[in-house]
């Protein structure tokens, strides 16, 4: 089964001396914690304004394409013109732009303090007779084939059903590998009168396309339901799954309405050696926060207007890239108040991105994700700082106070890292060479 289905299927201030002097420093982006760090992580893009939605699923299927199967609950019957192929590179751009990031700062000469300003953000169709037989067999099981069409390398059916056992039987009889236990998870969607988007790969079309991987699928529809049906993806899940959802709206953060939305720990200074191990740090930080919050929350990793960033882990998406991501209101096709009528202290692209990361299991997430749009325009990012000490010559009194403050600062960084990751504090100290500091005379630490 498709893993996207299984996961469903989203200027630091530092005081150096005991006075009121505060030095601000420009930083630069070093690394990012993107979706590739997490196993079994699905990516979903939802562009929404009012009841209008364009949803994009990244297909990361690994295996024989003839075994590919995708079954997604959708709120309405989709026509062929409402489904199209997307571009994986656009999802990758959203991921790179919004991923938690590591930044570096460098202390200035304590004898010549300066204040720096932040830098600007840089297939063959069935015969009619065979088709009639297929539809009759489906009706006998309480299944209706509402629509049937092909898009690129996908053969797609839109189904409705009266009973989950009939739908499960129909899918199995027609070659879809539905895992055991699907019946109980299909039934709630049937009670809600939702439809089922069912896709297979047409191997001839895939080979003709020249594509190396299955391309994302995009769906456009209108519905008051602002949701992501993850429950169906838990039917044969082995352990936890991650979904990273990139939510694009005309303004304001998006939150999860039926679970708590919690910000990931952010804006902390950590030891500089983490630069070489940022991927392991990012995974440990998320796992620690996931455990502490009870394993049933949605984590906010990024919320920002798409027109700018600080610091930038990737350039903001261009208007054309935003359209490819599903942002349909840039040309005025919107239910929202025009941006010119909304006060703002920052430039606006009329596209606000919220990145939500959910790690879920069947026992901790008994409901699908229900989203709500808010008017909260607060900017937030998962941001982790490396603060390099000044290593040049310095002979003033401020330099002496600065040097004496460094061991305490490094110890705070070690304690912060241990708290964020649950890593052993003594191992961290060894990596930082803090254990040897006590054996060095204070003047040698200063003069070296």
Residue range of the domain that includes 23: 3-66+81-122+221-389
Whether residues 226 and 357 share a domain: the answer is: yes
- Taking residues 57-61, what's their average pLDDT? 82
Instruction: Express each pLDDT in 94-114 by its tens digit.
Output: 999 999 999 999 998 888 765
Quick one: which of 100, 8, 1, 98 has its CA closest to 58?
8
d(CA 384, CA 267): 6
Q: Considering the domain boundaries, does residue 191 fall inside one?
A: no
Q: Considering the domain boundaries, does residue 136 fall inside one?
A: no
Instruction: Express each pLDDT in 385-404 by its tens digit.
Output: 999 999 888 788 888 889 88
Give the pLDDT confidence score for residue 387 in this predicted structure: 94
The count of structural domains within the chain is 2
Q: Is the pLDDT of residue 283 over 60?
A: yes
Instruction: Identify the bridge partners of residue 54 per DSSP, sorted by sequence position.
Output: 47, 220
Domain termination residue (choose one: 389, 406, 433) = 389
Whether residues 61 and 85 share a domain: the answer is: yes
Domain termination residue (choose one: 365, 389, 413) = 389
- Taking residues 201-216, what's their average pLDDT? 89
Q: Considering the domain boundaries, does residue 155 fall inside one?
A: no
Whether residues 225 and 368 share a domain: the answer is: yes
Between the ranges 210-219, 285-294, 399-408, 424-433, where is the mean pLDDT highest?
Answer: 285-294
The structure tokens 């310095």 sit at 394
Whether residues 342 and 399 share a domain: the answer is: no
The three-class DSSP label of residue 171 is: helix
- Taking residues 425-432, what's their average pLDDT? 93
Q: Is the pLDDT of residue 340 over 70?
A: no
Instruction: Express each pLDDT in 182-198 by its tens digit.
Output: 788 888 999 999 999 99
Whether residues 108 and 246 share a domain: the answer is: yes
Residue that wins the pLDDT comparison between 445 and 8: 445
Q: Which two tokens stand for residue 392?
A: 């040049």
Q: What are phi and psi of 62, to 5 degrees?
A: -120, 115
- Taking residues 228-246, what's their average pLDDT? 81
Helix, strand, coil abundance in the chain, percent, nearest 5: 30, 25, 40
* CA distances for 5 relative to 8, 27, 40, 136, 431, angstroms: 5, 39, 10, 28, 41
Q: Is there a contact between 52 and 335 (Cβ–Cβ < 8 Å)?
A: yes
Q: Is there a contact between 198 and 157 (Cβ–Cβ < 8 Å)?
A: yes
State the Rg of the chain over Cα: 26
Domain termination residue (choose one: 352, 369, 389) = 389
Contacts of 185 (CB under 8 A, 6+ apart): 231, 232, 234, 235
Rounded to two decimals, the pTM is: 0.84
pLDDT, the chain, mean? 82
d(CA 427, CA 433): 10
Q: Is there a contact between 377 and 253 (Cβ–Cβ < 8 Å)?
A: yes
Q: Considering the domain boundaries, does residue 164 fall inside one?
A: no
Q: Considering the domain boundaries, does residue 337 fall inside one?
A: yes
Whether residues 118 and 54 share a domain: the answer is: yes
Give the pLDDT confidence score for residue 59 in this predicted structure: 78
The structure tokens 């075994």 sit at 67
Q: Considering the domain boundaries, does residue 133 fall inside one?
A: no
Q: Considering the domain boundaries, does residue 167 fall inside one?
A: no
Q: Is the pLDDT of residue 344 over 50?
A: no
Q: Is the pLDDT of residue 119 over 80?
A: no
- Taking residues 146-153, what's their average pLDDT? 95
Whether residues 363 and 423 share a domain: the answer is: no
d(CA 348, CA 415): 39
Whether residues 108 and 233 share a domain: the answer is: yes
Whether residues 359 and 429 share a domain: the answer is: no
- Taking residues 354-375, what's their average pLDDT? 93
Cβ neighbours around 125 below 10 Å, total: 11
Q: DSSP labels for 194-247? A: -EEEEEEE-HHHHHHHT-SSPPPEEEEEE-S--EE--GGGGTT--S-EEEEEEE
Q: Is there a contact between 250 and 14 (Cβ–Cβ < 8 Å)?
A: no
């Amino acid at each position: 089964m498709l893993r996207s289905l299984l996961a469903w299927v989203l200027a630091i201030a530092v005081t150096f001396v005991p006075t009121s002097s505060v030095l601000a420093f420009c930083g630069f982006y070093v690394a990012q914690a993107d979706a590739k760090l997490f196993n079994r992580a699905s990516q979903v893009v939802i562009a929404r304004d009012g009841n209008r939605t364009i949803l994009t699923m990244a297909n990361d299927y690994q295996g024989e394409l003839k075994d590919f199967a995708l079954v997604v609950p959708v709120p309405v019957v989709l026509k062929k013109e409402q489904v199209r192929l997307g571009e994986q590179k656009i999802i990758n751009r959203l991921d790179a732009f919004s991923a938690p990031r590591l930044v570096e700062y460098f202390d200035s000469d304590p004898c010549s303090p300066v204040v720096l300003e932040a830098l600007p953000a840089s297939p063959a169709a069935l015969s009619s007779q065979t088709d009639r037989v297929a539809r009759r067999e489906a009706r006998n099981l309480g299944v209706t084939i509402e629509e049937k069409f092909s898009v690129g390398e996908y053969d797609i059916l839109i189904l409705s059903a009266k009973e989950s056992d009939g739908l499960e039987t129909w899918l199995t009889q027609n070659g879809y590998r539905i895992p055991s236990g699907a019946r109980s998870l299909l039934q709630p969607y049937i009670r809600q009168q939702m439809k089922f988007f069912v896709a297979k790969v047409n191997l001839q079309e895939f080979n003709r396309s020249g594509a190396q991987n299955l391309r994302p699928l995009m769906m456009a529809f209108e519905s008051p339901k602002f949701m992501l049906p993850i429950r169906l993806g838990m039917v044969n899940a082995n352990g936890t799954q991650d979904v990273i959802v990139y939510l694009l709206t005309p303004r304001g953060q998006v939150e999860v309405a039926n679970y708590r939305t919690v910000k990931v720990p952010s804006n902390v200074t950590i030891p500089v050696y983490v630069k070489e191990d940022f991927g392991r740090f990012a995974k440990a930080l998320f796992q620690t926060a996931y455990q502490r919050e009870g394993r049933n929350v949605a984590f906010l990793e990024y919320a920002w207007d798409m027109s700018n960033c600080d610091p930038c882990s990737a350039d903001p998406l261009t208007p054309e890239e935003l359209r490819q991501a599903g942002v349909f209101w840039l040309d005025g096709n919107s239910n929202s108040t025009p941006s010119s009528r909304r006060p703002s202290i920052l430039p606006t692209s009329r596209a606000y991105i919220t990145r939500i990361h959910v790690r879920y299991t069947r026992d901790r997430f008994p409901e699908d994700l229900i989203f709500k749009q808010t008017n909260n325009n607060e900017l937030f990012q998962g941001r982790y700082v490396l603060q390099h000490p000044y290593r040049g010559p310095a002979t003033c009194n401020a330099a002496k106070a600065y040097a004496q403050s460094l061991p305490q600062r490094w110890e705070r960084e070690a304690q912060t890292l241990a708290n964020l990751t649950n890593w052993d504090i003594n191992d961290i100290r060894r990596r930082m060479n803090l254990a040897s500091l006590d054996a060095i005379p204070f003047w040698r630490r200063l003069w070296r």
